[in-house]
Amino acid sequence: MSTMKNHSKTTDATREAFLDAFFQLAHRKKISRITIHEITALAGYNRTTFYRYFEDIYSLIEYSENEFLQNTRQMISEQCEKKQFEEGQFFRTLIQSFRENQYRISVLLSEENRSHFLRRISENVAGNLYQPENDTPKKKVTRDIYFFGILHAICINLDGKIGLSDDDLLDIIQKMFDNWYKPQMLSNE
């Protein structure tokens, strides 16, 4: 049993070394210009070891996205179980999760990967929270506009491009929810 735990720790440490190397490189250059050779050299492993963990750089990115999504869903679930969850709390939790993982999130939300990652967040986290019973094409478009707009605003605010406090941003989000999104979702059209 002890050997399995040690192997698991080694596996996790090796995977984490590749992830750390990738994110270090991604802070210096575009994702599309990073090579597996650069990742393995920085991580201190060879290509064969890399391929035991990841098929390519994009599977490494997907692994990191999955890890973020899983952790964020868990944070939201814990709040739901404690009955501490309200409309604005979802985005507060998302902002908190972004901030806690900002080093990696800044890469996952880079211009090269942003639309892909925002789609995954919307589908895997946000989309599951606000599914009306009578979902129509109009409501699907409304949901996409609402979530993608908010996620984009959160991203550029985290980059320092807007300069709002989290509370001010959350106030805007809540007003949009109360005055536009919720009425659209409750309408019978």
Which amino acid is present at 175? K
Q: Is the pLDDT of residue 166 over 70?
A: yes
Cα separation, 151 vs 145, whole angstroms: 10
pLDDT band at 4 (very low <50, low <70, confident <90, very high): very low
What DSSP element (H or E) covers 50?
helix 47-53
Q: In 3D, which of 115, 76, 67, 110 has the Cα closest to residue 95?
A: 76
Distant-in-sequence, close-in-space partners of 61: CB < 8 Å, separation ≥ 6: 22, 31, 108, 113
pTM for this prediction: 0.78
Alpha carbon 75 to chain centroid, angstroms: 13
pLDDT tens by residue, 91-141: 888 888 888 888 998 899 888 888 888 888 877 776 555 565 677 888 888
Residue 126: its pLDDT value, please?
A: 64
